[in-house]
Structure 1
Amino acid sequence: MRMVLQASPGLATSQQMNETVSSSQDMDMVGVGADDAYDVNLQVAGVFIIMAASVLGMGLSYAFGSDAQAPSNGLLYLSLQMLKGCGVGVIISTALIHLIGEAYEPFEDAGMSEIYEQWPMVFAMVGMFLMAILEFVHHRLEFRSRHYVASAAEVEHPDATLPAEGMPAEVTLNPLQGDGAHDESDKEVVTKSVASKQRSAVLVELSILIHSVLIGFDLGLQTKSQWVPLVIAITFHQFFEGFAVGQIVLDAQFTFWKKFAMTAFYSLTTSVGIAIGIATYLGQNYDGQSKAANITIGVLDSICGGLLLFAGMSVFWPEWFVTNHKLCQADSLVAPSVGFFGVALGMVIMSVIGIWA
């Protein structure tokens, strides 16, 4: 026996090498290395961690409430200004860094950058263009409806004194004018402004939901070494983004059940994406590096980024701060300063998180 072993060292070595190579290949295929294993238990835990962070973010926003009822010189009001500012900064940073900025990589992987390098900007402009058309159509219908109401009022009460040009409450025609007080003649105007805010809120959440599914799907495909830093970053991402969405939902004055639906959709979509990623990884039937997959992810991220960027820059930032009558007419600059500081803080937070997620 000893003689056989000594006479065939080359054979034994060859067999050991083949077994080692085979074992290494198997480890690469299924990801069972010590430091780079695919841990299903961790992935399942991630589903609930992300869900909890999402609910906490929106719940905290609801707990603070809206600044409409808060005294303009109180600590609660100033806190709300900063937190709403954070929400605006998170929305804008998410659009620029987490959506449009990250869309460059899939376009490069698909080979599209060899044709043209700025595809993310192209599709971001498509998203902004679509959002602008929706805004225009809504405001056009709103203008025409108010003209009709004014004309009907003149016919019914020809001796009544109407505001300039026969337009009741013309000064509140722009929905970006903040939360000023309105008299009885403005009820129709206020209702339409709320409808405009609700439409913007739905579009913003829809864009975020698509993005949430994609980042959840990506997390569900990660092995252990990549999962830990990524889940931490996404947890903070979902929390701060959830707070921003919560402020937008509050501003839109949805009913309880609509608020519940908006919260549920936001809280579940990333976790649903993780579950899809887990199933895809275990099924080994997804080629994440295919040209079609990369182009799809790049286009969706870019368009959603354009929608969010338009909403943040043209709707929420002006409405909440830049053209807000309450802040512009305030005797002190404390509240506006706190609000703009919140915007900068939200941008910084999401920009730092963008290093990992």
Structure 2
Amino acid sequence: MTISSNKTSINILLFLLLALLPTMVAPQCKVEENSYSDTNNQLSLKYKIAAILTIFLAGGIGVSIPQLGKKVEALNPDNDIFFMIKAFAAGVILGTGFIHILPDAFEHLTSPCLDQKPWGKFPFAGFVAMSCAIGALMLDTFATSFYTKMHFNKQKTKQVVDVEINDDVDEHAGHVHVHAHATDGHAHGSVLSSHEYQLMRHRIISQVLELGIIVHSVIIGLSLGASQHISTIKSLLVALSFHQFFEGMGLGGCISQAKYKSLATAMMAVFFSLTTPIGIAVGIGISRIYNEDSATSLIVEGILNSGSAGILVYMALVDLLAADFMNPRMQSSLRLQLGANVSLLIGAGCMSFLAIWA
């Protein structure tokens, strides 16, 4: 009877363990409310204010360094060293997209806090990233086509004005000059020069790249501003300062090559530098009501991160790396190729290393 009783008890225990096994391994959504003591709240606020100033300065210095090319020969866009700086910056942007943003997007959109249908049935993070990469390609193509046509229209308008002015000056001589000028305009004005085309491409690239960076910068700033954990804020402060510095170098290199006027250059640099601090300030304002595990927060952050990752990966691979690495100047120099490849790996490695903290 004792042996039989023991066997029965063991069987019951095994049955209970098997019955509880699905609940033990099933993902659970644990939403914990933040505890706000006056001491912690005040201390965290001090660190957040320090983060606003530090990250603003780091981003501002990073985006400004490539602008020194006018005074420092090594940073001149026509210098070989600038190719390596751009490769490093492209590696930073690529690492940001793959290592920092995309994993966060997958984590948010596959969270157990979201309904299994539809979020658990389809890889929305990858789909949104792919869609935004395709969208960046389309925007890139349409913008290039638009600016090219706009350039042609300006050339045609200039030719017509020149013809009318010359015709008023001297009817006979003007007739001969008009024919020659119009022919010359047709030969040269209808074809976009290599320099003009490259300048236009650099301007489009800088604008699309800044769009992708800004979306991500606001989100990471919001996360820091809404956090009440001192250790989290400290690690994010250091990691995001380096993150914004390197990312600013990548964007600053593109802005430098775009050769904007001083006011436009300053506006783009300041706008980039302010996005993360603004995100932190907004996070501070909503920290008492913000819940990072709520369905709305997870969906919004996940979709925005996915879109930002798709844009940055496309820009880094297509518009930055492919354009420079296939440049005849780099193709003809083994030394420059080796330097650019090493710089690319260092840039990507730095951002991968920062993922330990943020």
Q: Distance in 2 between matches of 1:290 and 1:42?
A: 25
- Structure with a larger share of its residues in helix: 2
In the TM superposition, what is the alpha-carbon distance from 1:339 to its structure 2 partner? 1.0
Give 1:328's aligned residue.
331
Secondary structure, counterpart of 1:29 in structure 2: coil
Determine if contact 2:144/2:204 at 8 Å carries over to the other structure.
no
Structure 2 matches for 1:13-28, cutoff 5 A?
A: none
Give 1:131's aligned residue.
136
Q: Distance in 1 between matches of 2:208 and 2:102?
A: 17
In the TM superposition, what is the alpha-carbon distance from 1:127 to its structure 2 partner? 0.6
Query: Normalising by structure 2, what TM-score?
Result: 0.74
Give 2:300's aligned residue.
296
Distance 1:138 1:269, change over 3 A: closer
Q: Distance in 1 between matches of 2:126 and 2:36?
A: 37
Q: Distance in 2 between matches of 1:352 and 1:88?
A: 16
Distance 1:168 1:317, change over 3 A: farther
Percent identity, aligned pairs only, is: 23
Which one-letter code corresponds to 1:46 in the other structure? A
1:319 and 2:320 matched: no
Q: Distance in 2 between matches of 1:271 and 1:145?
A: 37
Which one-letter code corresponds to 1:218 in the other structure? S
Deviations 1:290-309 (A, max 9, x none): 11111010101111111111
Give 1:258's aligned residue.
264
Query: Normalising by structure 1, what TM-score?
Result: 0.74
Distance 1:276 1:191, change over 3 A: same
Which one-letter code corresponds to 1:44 in the other structure? I
Deviations 1:300-355 (A, max 9, x none): 111111111111111111222x21121123xx411121011111111100111112
Structure 2 matches for 1:49-198, cutoff 5 A?
A: 49-64=54-69, 66-70=75-79, 77-78=80-81, 80-109=82-111, 110-111=113-114, 115-116=120-121, 118-141=123-146, 186=193, 189-198=194-203
Match of 1:44 among 12, 37, 49: 49
The CA RMSD over aligned residues, in Å, is: 3.1
Deviations 1:249-293 (A, max 9, x none): 111111111110111011111111111111112xx2223221111
Give 1:221's aligned residue.
226
Aligned pairs, how many?
A: 298
1:274 and 2:275 matched: no
Give 1:235's aligned residue.
241
Determine if contact 1:99/1:302 at 8 Å carries over to the other structure.
yes
In the TM superposition, what is the alpha-carbon distance from 1:139 to its structure 2 partner? 3.9
Which one-letter code corresponds to 1:345 in the other structure? I
In the TM superposition, what is the alpha-carbon distance from 1:135 to its structure 2 partner? 2.1
Give 1:352's aligned residue.
353
Q: Which runs of 5+ in 1 are unaligned?
A: 1-26, 71-76, 174-185
Deviations 1:1-53 (A, max 9, x none): xxxxxxxxxxxxxxxxxxxxxxxxxx96215687x985211111111011111
Q: Distance in 1 between matches of 2:34 and 2:211?
A: 37
Q: Distance in 1 between matches of 2:200 and 2:58?
A: 29
Q: Distance in 2 between matches of 1:159 and 1:84?
A: 41
Distance 1:160 1:29, change over 3 A: closer
Q: Distance in 2 between matches of 1:59 and 1:313?
A: 23
Give 1:306's aligned residue.
310
Distance 1:219 1:69, change over 3 A: same
In the TM superposition, what is the alpha-carbon distance from 1:121 to its structure 2 partner? 0.8
Match of 1:246 among 244, 249, 252: 252
Q: Which runs of 5+ in 2 are unaligned?
A: 1-32, 161-177
In the TM superposition, what is the alpha-carbon distance from 1:161 to its structure 2 partner? 9.7
In the TM superposition, what is the alpha-carbon distance from 1:122 to its structure 2 partner? 0.3
